[in-house]
Structure 1
Amino acid sequence: MAASPLDHTLIAELDREINSTSGLTVPVIAPFSGQVLHELPTSSTTDVENSYGRARLAQLSWARAGFAHRRAVLLRAHDLILERTELLLDLMQSETGKTRGQAFEEVFQAVSVTRYNALAAHATLKGRRRRSSLPTVVQTRVRYSPKGVAGVITPWNYPLSLAAMDVVPALAAGCGVVQKADNQGALSILALRSAFIEAGVPAELWAVVTGDGNEIGGAVTASADYICFTGSTATGKRVAAQAAENLIGVSLELGGKNPLIVLDDVDVKKAAKDAAYACFSSMGQLCVSIERIYVERSVADAFTAEFAAVVSALKLGRSFDYSTDVGSLTSQAQLERVSAHVENAVSLGATVLAGGKPRPDIGPLFYEPTILTDVTEEMDCFAHETFGPVVSISVVDSDQEAIIAANSSEYGLNASVLSGSTTRAMRVATALEAGSVNINEGYRGSFSSVAAPMGGVKNSGLGRRNGPEGLHRFVNPITISRATGFVQLPRTGQEFAQLTGTMILMAKVLKALRRR
């Protein structure tokens, strides 16, 4: 089945949930067919500002409602997401061109993120006592106060899971959200939001705005108390600069040129299948996708031959069921970028082992998963992110050479190691410069570990989502200390003279007792 199964009445209902008074719309194209999926209402800067005003009022009550209330609401939303799985899958496939299976990964991630934050928020963010350097004299507690309203800027490639990983912890921490959805993923985000609204999240607390980033992106940043951005490194730097002007915090998940190392003790057949998914899931249109493979020489021929065979056998298609392995690119711009990278590499001497061409016979934005060898520094795909179904293979003589090559990048988002030895793989993994490293998996191990932080180093970003670190983004720690009166702290020179000896002795005793 190639035609979108979406009902136009449903689409119209979702579109009405966008905060838009501009009266303007933009066409959103269905990647599978190239036809207009719907006319998306767009927001103005005034719509953004008004959304923040309403969200701030709603946030005051939401924060006061407490952890138990927020937990109950989020757990109801968790159940509603599960009930609406098929609808969410249809929406994501229609908007992004994913396969059914790769769309399901997003639903499962959204469910996992919602459950984690619902259950973890109280334990992570409740007030705690902290030790004083003057025990019994001073008592200190730290409490956490919600920052207010977060601005969330979400891209088109993983609309459901990326929205959940930023919006849900904000809600769990007691914040409101104004989310700038990419036009191509707005329906999926609105459908996710509707589950939370039905579960009990006030509609004004989570606003969704749409439109051109150059027109409304500055307004989203200008009024926020914290910013979450996922996208390109170039845009992320601009967002960070805007946030710095307002002295607000920011978390950025940016670009990657992610490496995979194949050690010489692998099961070649299994490694080839694992590598293929790591490279070509969602047509490589995800920030943690593998774009560089380094394989040790003794298994290079066998791995490369098996990898090429696996990739060539992947089934491309635009079906709304689980019968295909690889879907479509999402936009004409993506198709042009992928084609340009491959053509540039081939013109400069690269060899195509698999793929290397578009497939208009299947759909307007289909491109075959592509393997390149003999990729050199002057080629565009050598160091620059393709963000598409293109991977290069290079042969190395040792794991140390592989580590050096993998780390020779301005990016550091994700990396992968395939090996038959856990000990050896761990040794290599700990030497890699990346925010996450997966062993015998491409990205799903770390991506699905919602209790662990996710983010990048170098030009791949700042801050972390998921885990306690993801919740702490949305709160300000506030220290409250109380003098007990057991001993009066010195205030005059005479009082200091009387107490300094005692305080020095106390410091020595605390060191001996290993008290911090």
Structure 2
Amino acid sequence: ELGGKNAMLVLDDADIEKAADGAVAACFPSAGQLCVSIERLYVADAVHDRFVDAFVARAERLKVGGAYDFSCDVGSLTTAAQLKTVTEHVEDAVAKGAKVLAGGRARPDLGPLFYEPTILAGVTPDMTLYEHETFGPVVSVHPFRDDSEAVARANATPYGLNASVWSRSASRGRAVAARLHAGTVNVNEAFAAAWGSVDAPMGGMGDSGLGRRHGAEGILKYTEAQNVAHQRVQGFTPPKSIPPEAWAALLTGALKVLKAVGSR
């Protein structure tokens, strides 16, 4: 798959602290350089401010660094080109009116390719990162009024790889998940549930690619189907002793009988 502008939806006053932890896990592992990383957060108006406060507080506590142990939370970007993309996306958004709630700058003091976990508000369609994948530790937060608006906004992208839905109602979460145009949708989880379900197919919709990995579909994509048909007794070509018209009528009648018998 190619990745995409993956979305996370916070529908209601599910455990805000848990949802904020989920957002950190969705947006910042591997410095946001996962194909399933979340880059857009849609939060219900009723819980927007509380969620954003909790999410920002967690992002600001994340330790950025290059240690090969558990002392750091966010590591380095992979290439100078990727750092350039992340920097340009954030600078473009800020220049056009976006507000930085957390992060928003490179950290050359830590190494050549480090960038802080960044949360933006007020991102609009004229900004580059609104539609284009950043593939870095950057996420935009957007409020919404109801589930239909959240679904419409989450689906307003040519991509469709991964999504995350958070709700205190399991049935509501699953119902909204089923309406999202994404190959995998996780309810009350960032991406690990779908990724870890190795017997279930995982892949993208839309511009996020073709085919699936995991499950039967993940194996069958490496195969080519072949049809071997063995006709026994009489073939479909009429015997020389029967006129074509009579043969056609006989076959039609026989097929009707077989169909009737098979439907019982």
TM-score range, shorter chain: over 0.9
Letter in 1 for 2:209: G
Measure how far apart 1:510 and its partner are. 3.7
CA drift of 1:366 comes to 1.1
The equivalent residue for 1:491 is 238
* Aligned-residue offset at 1:387: 0.5
| Counterpart-to-counterpart distance in 2, 1:320 and 1:495 | 83
CA deviations over 1:105-134 (Å, ceiling 9, x no partner): xxxxxxxxxxxxxxxxxxxxxxxxxxxxxx
Residue 434 (str. 1) matches residue 182 (str. 2): yes
Query: 1:270–1:503: structure 2 CA closer, same or farther, 3 Å change rule?
Result: same
* Aligned with residue 504 of structure 1, among 220, 234, 252: 252
Q: Secondary structure at the match of 1:476?
A: coil
- Distance of 1:306 and 1:354 partners within structure 2: 12
Matched, 1:299 2:85: no
Could you tell me which amino acid in structure 1 is paired with residue 100 of structure 2? Answer: V
- 2:12 corresponds to which residue? 264
1:456 and 2:204 equivalent?
Answer: yes
String of CA shifts for 1:200-223, please: whole Å, max 9, x gaps: xxxxxxxxxxxxxxxxxxxxxxxx
Look up the SS of the partner of 2:89 in the other structure.
helix
TM-score between both structures, scaled by the size of structure 2: 0.93
CA contact 2:2–2:35 (8 Å) conserved in 1: yes
Per-residue deviation at 1:502?
A: 4.3
CA distance in 1, matches of 2:257, 2:15: 58
Higher helix share: 1
Q: Which amino acid is the alignment partner of residue 443 of structure 1? A: F
Distance 2:8 2:246 in 1: 65
Matched, 1:360 2:137: no
The residue that corresponds to 1:424 in the other structure is 172
Hey, what does 1:316 align to over in structure 2?
A: 64
Instruction: Report the residue type matching 1:358 in the other structure.
Output: A
What's 1:278 paired with?
Answer: 26
Q: Which amino acid aligns with 1:300?
A: H
- The farther-off stretch of 266-275 and 320-329 is 320-329
In the TM superposition, residue 490 of structure 1 has moved relative to its aligned partner by 3.3
What is the rounded CA distance, in whole Å, between the counterparts of 1:346 and 1:397 in structure 2? 25
1:358/1:513 Cα in 2 relative to 1: closer, same or farther (>3 Å)? Answer: farther
Give the conservation status (yes or no) of the 8 Å contact 1:265–1:421. Answer: no
Number of the residue aligned with 2:152: 404
AA at the equivalent of 1:334 = Q
1:411 aligned counterpart, secondary structure: coil
Note the C-alpha offset of 1:453: 1.7
Q: CA deviation at 1:269?
A: 0.2
Separation of aligned partners in 2, 1:268 and 1:500: 70
Q: In the alignment, is the contact (CA less than 8 A) between 1:297 and 1:395 conserved in 2? A: yes
1: CA distance, partners of 2:235 / 2:215: 42
Determine if the alignment matches structure 1 residue 254 to structure 2 residue 18: no
Give deviations 1:267-311, integer Å, cap 9, x for gaps.
Answer: 100000001110111111111110000000000010000000111
- Partner Cα distance (2:111, 2:199) in 1: 39
Distance 1:473 1:373 in 2: 41
1:361-400 correspondence runs (5 A): 361-400=109-148
Give the secondary-structure state (helix, strand or coil) at the position aligned to 1:409: coil
Show the 5 A alignment for 1:65-76. none
Amino acid at match of 1:275: A
Aligned to 1:6: none
Instruction: Percent identity, please.
Output: 50
For residue 445 of structure 1, the aligned residue among 193, 196, 216 is 193
What is the CA-CA distance between 1:419 and the residue it aligns to? 0.8
3-state SS of 1:277 partner:
helix
Alpha-carbon distance in 2 for matches of 1:402, 1:458:
19
Q: Deviations over 1:33-88 (max 9, x none)?
A: xxxxxxxxxxxxxxxxxxxxxxxxxxxxxxxxxxxxxxxxxxxxxxxxxxxxxxxx
Q: How does 1:164-175 map to 2 (within 5 A)?
A: none
TM-score by length of 1: 0.49
Matched, 1:471 2:219: yes
Q: How far apart are 1:449 and its partner, in Å?
A: 1.9
Q: What CA deviation, in whole Å up to 9, does each residue of 1:404-444 have, x standing for no partner?
A: 00011111111111111111011101111111111111111
Unaligned runs of 5+ in 2: none
Q: Is the 8 A contact 2:104 2:119 kept in 1?
A: yes
Shift of 1:460: 1.1
Quote the Cα distance in structure 2 between the aligned partners of 1:488 and 1:360.
77
Give the aligned partner of residue 117 of structure 1: none
Which structure exhibits the higher relative contact order, with contacts defined as CA atoms closer than 8 Å and separated by 6 or more residues? Answer: 2
1:507 Cα deviation after fit:
2.8
- Higher strand share goes to which structure? 1
Q: Distance in 2 between matches of 1:393 and 1:286?
A: 19
Shift in Å at residue 489 of structure 1? Answer: 3.7
Contact 1:297 1:397 in 2 (8 A): yes
Aligned residues: 262
1:255 offset after TM fit, Å?
3.2
3-state DSSP class of the match of 1:433?
Answer: coil
Q: Aligned partner of 1:452: which letter?
A: A
- Does the 8 Å contact 2:62/2:74 carry over to 1? yes
Tell me how far apart the structure 1 counterparts of residues 262 and 43 of structure 2 sit (CA, whole Å). Answer: 48
Residue 86 of structure 1: aligned partner:
none
1:337 aligns with 2:117: no
- Which amino acid is 2:201 matched to? P
